[in-house]
Chain A
């Protein structure tokens, strides 16, 4: 079974530039999550999708971050414009959803450096 795919693996940009991350969850997984993990901290949920609807985006800085999950499968997360404090690892995860297998499956993450 293929895991959660994320790209790119690394990205270096200048502040005020834009960047996009892509995630393809495990086939059949209804729930998709984007987490931000700053060095030395636990993952912080940015946005959660159930199929192609947003369940929670309360911690997404909507003035600069946007995310979509068209057709309820893969997803993109965009930052425009980036700030220095956006330097972090962006983790995508998926799960079967309510009533399914409990655990989250994570991708390898995208390490973003904003200079």
Chain B
């Protein structure tokens, strides 16, 4: 069965510091995709970063990087130099191999303190 686990319901980080949001997944699919989405209080889901299961290098997008450890089945999001606007819910998601089904974790609420 496909499953995404985010064990941190809430986190605090000081502005300008880096923060890591944890995500582990479970799948038997030979290939899959891993995603992070940001959901501010306004409610829209904003795509942040993508990692393919066969990608050799960790994905990076600006201040976001994905620490992909395939053997451990983890896909942690690292946000460098946190900004006040980073305060939001963050969801880890996995796309399975079967008909592009997406599975979401329960989310981590990040609060950036000035």
Contact = CB atoms under 8 A, between A and B. Distances in A.
Interface of A: 31, 33, 35, 40-45, 48, 50, 55-56, 89, 91, 93, 95, 97-98, 102-106, 108-109, 111
Given A42-B106, A55-B99, 5 more contacts: A48-B99, A102-B50, A103-B50, A104-B102, A111-B43
A48 B101 contact: yes
A63 to B, nearest CB: 23
Interface of B: 4, 6, 33, 35, 37, 43-45, 47, 50, 52, 91, 93, 95, 99-107
B51 to A, nearest CB: 10
A23 to B, nearest CB: 14
A102 B33 contact: yes
Given A103-B35, A108-B43, A109-B44, A42 B107 contact: yes
A98 B99 CA distance: 6
Contact of B106 (A41, A50, A97, A104): A41
Nearest to B47: A103
Looking at A45, A104, A111, which has the most chain B CB atoms within 10 Å of its CB?
A: A104
Contacts of B44: 106, 108-109
A43 B104 contact: yes
Given A89-B43, A108-B44, A109-B44, A45 B99 contact: no
A7 B93 CA distance: 25
Nearest to A43: B104
Contacts of B107: 40-42
B102 A45 contact: yes
A42 B101 contact: no
A109 to B, nearest CB: 5
16 contacts: A31-B99, A33-B102, A35-B104, A42-B104, A43-B91, A50-B99, A55-B99, A56-B99, A89-B43, A97-B100, A102-B35, A102-B52, A102-B95, A103-B47, A104-B35, A109-B43
Contacts of B99: 31, 48, 50, 55-56, 98
B62 to A, nearest CB: 16
A90 to B, nearest CB: 11
